Structure 1
Amino acid sequence: MVNWIVTHWMELAGTLFALIYLYLSIRENIWLWLFGFLTSFLYLIIFFQSRLYADMGLQFYYLIISIYGWFHWMGRRNGIKRIETNLATTSVGGKQAVLLFMATAVIMLIIYVALKTLPQLLAIPESELPVADAFTTAAGIVATWMLARKILENWLIWIVANTVSFGMYIYKDLYVTSFLFLVYTIMAVVGYYQWKRNM
């Protein structure tokens, strides 16, 4: 057991930080962005080692969006010492939903093409799950932008993306991470209703 923990310490730490991030997201607490940054840093390494290159690239995006989200939410706190943000939760309209869907599809296509061509150019092993990897990465990019903007429906995208990720990580024998994404899926449902109630 101790050897397993030592071998998988990075995945365990990343999972712990991710659960804290998820809890703080649901609570609309600005410190979610710090834990999101720490989670992304660790999973960047984990996904590189697991040859999930699109998910690895997504972690770079998460690092940047965590900084953006921190400052976007920081400017809308309830007073100087408060950790809750005063940024209002919004909902997508029909036109915005279509644009977000199209953005997800275009990003997914670009990532898929990159996953099929870049490994040969870089002389690294190919992605084993290019379609799922591209989809979850594209959905994660859009959903995290929506989270930073406090758009309610980010949780609905996370429900779908996390369900696909759960299966992908089981396939890659990342059992701790697959457990994390099972929890993510369940808590995305909780987050959706919590934010909707707070609106």
Structure 2
Amino acid sequence: MSYIELLGTVFYLWSIWLISQRKILTWPVGIVSVLLYMALFYQIRLYSDFLEQIYYLVVSVYGWWRWSTPDSSKVLQIRYSPPRKIVLIAAITVAISFATGALMSQIHLLLPAIFLEKASFPYLDALTTIMSFTAMWLMVQKRIESWYYWIIVDIIGIWLYYVKEVKFIAFLYVILLLIAINGSISWLKTAKIVH
């Protein structure tokens, strides 16, 4: 375990705790975690995860700004997506994941000055990355399916990070899996079907 991995995970867990307490400090703490994870994922050649952190950096800056402005308290109702929409979102997620995996499998050839070595698990890494983007998008809309995406991402992540020998992050994903399961159960109690 590296110091970058340890500190990134500590800041990440702190950020999760802060968001559960609805504290604006969650955003700068999360940004520190994102920057540390960017460095880690670049070092261990999980390039999709590296690029995913850029997305989280942008979302964290936006979240920090949004929570700092008035009228950020509007609450959406927790709801299900219609089956047709679920299938469409899943199909798009898989298609973009495959395309991203194909790109990441060749990224060391396309940009050798930046990506010095071949990506590890480019398709699986791309799948978890694109699924995370989808989950975040669904979560912003308070769609119950977001938790199902997070559960799948967490299960894959536990194995992937364990194999890549970043065991502290693998353990973090065990915690995230438990949070996702609990979140899905909690949201199921109040979810409504909305088209």
TM-score (norm 2): 0.82
Residue in 2 aligned with 1:63?
A: 57
Matched, 1:110 2:72: no
Amino acid at match of 1:12: L
Please, which of 1, 25, 29 is the counterpart of residue 22 of structure 2?
29
RMSD: 2.4
In 1, the alpha carbon distance for the partners of 2:169 and 2:60 equals 20
The Cα shift of 1:67 comes to: 3.4
Amino acid at match of 2:43: Q
Deviates more, 1:45-54 or 1:119-128: 119-128
In 2, the alpha carbon distance for the partners of 1:167 and 1:190 equals 21
Please, which of 147, 155, 162 is the counterpart of residue 155 of structure 1?
147
CA gap 1:148/1:38 in 2 versus in 1, 3 angstroms: farther
In 1, the alpha carbon distance for the partners of 2:136 and 2:84 equals 19
Amino acid at match of 2:86: A
In 2, the alpha carbon distance for the partners of 1:101 and 1:155 equals 14
What whole-Å deviation, never above 9, does each CA across 1:160-196 have from its counterpart, x for those lacking one? 1111011111111101111101111111101112233
Residue in 2 aligned with 1:82?
A: none
Q: How does 1:152-191 map to 2 (within 5 A)?
A: 152-191=144-183
1:24–1:30 Cα contact (<8 Å) kept = yes
Amino acid at match of 2:163: Y
Deviates more, 1:11-20 or 1:86-95: 86-95
In 2, the alpha carbon distance for the partners of 1:181 and 1:154 equals 16
In 2, the alpha carbon distance for the partners of 1:88 and 1:20 equals 27
Structure 2 gaps, min length 5? none
The Cα shift of 1:17 comes to: 2.2
In 2, the alpha carbon distance for the partners of 1:87 and 1:21 equals 22
What whole-Å deviation, never above 9, does each CA across 1:131-174 have from its counterpart, x for those lacking one? 21111111111111122222222111111111101111111110
Amino acid at match of 1:29: R
Amino acid at match of 1:164: I
In 2, the alpha carbon distance for the partners of 1:66 and 1:196 equals 27
State the secondary structure of the residue aligned to 1:41. helix
Residue in 2 aligned with 1:193?
A: 185
State the secondary structure of the residue aligned to 1:185. helix
Identical residues among aligned pairs (%): 28
TM-score (norm 1): 0.81
Matched, 1:97 2:89: no
CA gap 1:45/1:70 in 2 versus in 1, 3 angstroms: same
Amino acid at match of 1:49: Q
CA gap 1:148/1:66 in 2 versus in 1, 3 angstroms: farther
Deviates more, 1:69-78 or 1:88-97: 69-78
Amino acid at match of 1:95: R
Residue in 2 aligned with 1:43?
A: 37
The Cα shift of 1:69 comes to: 4.3
Structure 1 gaps, min length 5? 79-84
